[in-house]
Structure 1
Amino acid sequence: MNWLIHTFQSSIGKKLLMALTGLGFIGFLAGHLAGNLTIYGGSDPFNAYAEHLHALGPLLRAAEIGLLLMALIHVATGLILFLQNLNARPQRYRVNKSAGGRSLGSRTMPYTGLLILGFVLFHLLNFHFVDKSATTIFEIVSAAFQNPIYVAIYVAAMLIVAVHVSHGFWSAFQTLGMNHGKYMPIISAAGLVFAIAIGIGFSCIPLFVGLSV
């Protein structure tokens, strides 16, 4: 057990935690988007999807607790690594050159991560921690997306998620040892495609609901 504790106390161990939890959230995003796409079928399919999730009972609670733990680990570890990097190089270079592999996603990971965390809390307060006894989830979503401010916030947040994932996807596989000249370009391209699909897929939902209801 000591070797495991020492591993995750090291920089490599922290990056491994970031990679594993990041891939967990990538899987969650894919599944969550697939479920949310049922809203294009109208109220009945979307409400049925929500009811199916709630029917899982303890399994759903276990999944929610697992997501919460992953979020705490991912955010805390990311902040620790970010602060350690700042302490290791307290002064910025005079010439801020774009090094190989540097991208908008890689340069903004800590900041987009914190923005995503803030949006998740906002999202939960508006959709999860609300009284559903006298209404349906479709009605709650429809009412929320009648507000253009919320639509704008949601679309902006999804674009930020896409930027974050565009770097996190291939970075996670690289951390796990797949940094190979033959496979990395494919993984990087797959990550970009996935990020674009997530950004567009989630962004289109509030626009569709807001314009159609």
Structure 2
Amino acid sequence: MNWLVRTFSCSVAKKQFMAVTGLAFCLFLTSHLIGNLFVYGGKDAFNAYVEHLHSLGILIHIAEAGLIVFALIHIGMALILYFQNLAARPVKYKKKSNAGGRTLASATMPYTGLFILVFIAIHLIGLKFADHSTQTTFDVTAGVLSQPVYLVFYIVSSIVVAFHVNHGFWSAFQSFGASHPKYTPIVRGFGILFSLVIGVGFGFIPIALNMVS
């Protein structure tokens, strides 16, 4: 038990927990985007994909439980680190600086993370927990994303997710000490490419729905 307490009291360990869970969510975003691409095949193709997921039964429930645990760890570590940083620097600097590699993305990570959390809650309520008894998943999704307010919110959220992932991806590798003048630019470049794919890929889903519905 002592080793667990020591681990969670170490800032480096907290960042590593955030890195692992963050990369796990990057994998989830990738698989989720690949699944959503079935929408381009039309209503039947998308519903067939959803039915395939449901046929996995307990495996899906295990995956969902794992995502919840990872989310709690990620959010918990982020909150602890955020308040520790506030306590270490109770008075804000009069002049902000980008020294030490601090960027707009890194400075706004807590806020983009909070925005994503709100988006996930609204997204689950509107889609996953909606009434599917009289409509297919495709019809529910198309109906929700056809609402102007939700459409704008969804596209903005896709951009925020991409912005959050862009910084989080390469900083995850830094948390494990994998920072090297030769390889860091490659990781950064891949992170930018990945975030663009995520942002554009999810952002175009409503357009695809309108094209095939």
Q: What band does the TM-score fall into relative to the shorter chain?
A: over 0.9
Q: What residue ranges of structure 1 are gaps of 5+ in the alignment?
A: none
Letter in 1 for 2:2: N
Shift in Å at residue 98 of structure 1?
1.8
User: Which has the larger displacement, 5-14 or 170-179?
Assistant: 5-14
Per the alignment, residue 121 of structure 1 pairs with 121
| Aligned residue-pair number | 213
| 1:154 aligns to 2:154 (yes or no) | yes
Shift in Å at residue 18 of structure 1?
0.5
Shift in Å at residue 4 of structure 1?
3.7
Q: Quick check: 1:36–1:46 contact (8 Å CA) kept in 2?
A: yes
Q: Structure 1 runs of 4+ off > 3 angstroms?
A: 210-213
CA distance in 2, matches of 1:50, 1:81: 38
Report 1:122-141 matches (<5 A): 122-141=122-141
Question: Alignment partner of 1:132: what SS?
Answer: coil
| 1:60 aligns to 2:30 (yes or no) | no
Q: 1:127 to 1:209 in 2, by over 3 A?
A: same
Letter in 2 for 1:129: F
Per the alignment, residue 16 of structure 1 pairs with 16
Describe the superposition over 1:125-184 as per-residue Cα deviations: whole angstroms up to 9, x where unpaired.
011112212211000011112211111000000100011001000000111221111111
Question: Alignment partner of 2:97: what SS?
Answer: coil
Letter in 2 for 1:17: F
| 1:69 aligns to 2:69 (yes or no) | yes
- Tell me: higher relative CO, structure 1 or 2? Use CA pairs within 8 A at least 6 residues apart: 2
Report 1:35-184 matches (<5 A): 35-184=35-184
Describe the superposition over 1:65-118 as per-residue Cα deviations: whole angstroms up to 9, x where unpaired.
000111111111101101100110111111112224222211100000000000
CA distance in 1, matches of 2:4, 2:79: 21
Shift in Å at residue 212 of structure 1?
5.1
Shift in Å at residue 5 of structure 1?
3.5
Shift in Å at residue 13 of structure 1?
1.2
CA distance in 1, matches of 2:193, 2:155: 18
Question: Alignment partner of 2:204: what SS?
Answer: helix
TM-score, with structure 1 as normaliser: 0.96
Describe the superposition over 1:19-47 as per-residue Cα deviations: whole angstroms up to 9, x where unpaired.
00000001100110010011011011111
Q: 1:148 to 1:212 in 2, by over 3 A?
A: farther
CA distance in 2, matches of 1:211, 1:53: 24
Report 1:195-210 matches (<5 A): 195-210=195-210
> What percentage of residue pairs aligned between the two structures are identical?
50
TM-score, with structure 2 as normaliser: 0.96
Q: Quick check: 1:151–1:207 contact (8 Å CA) kept in 2?
A: no
Q: Quick check: 1:82–1:110 contact (8 Å CA) kept in 2?
A: yes
Q: Quick check: 2:17–2:73 contact (8 Å CA) kept in 1?
A: yes
Shift in Å at residue 8 of structure 1?
2.3
Letter in 2 for 1:13: A
Q: Compute the RMSD of aligned alpha carbons.
A: 1.2
Shift in Å at residue 6 of structure 1?
1.3
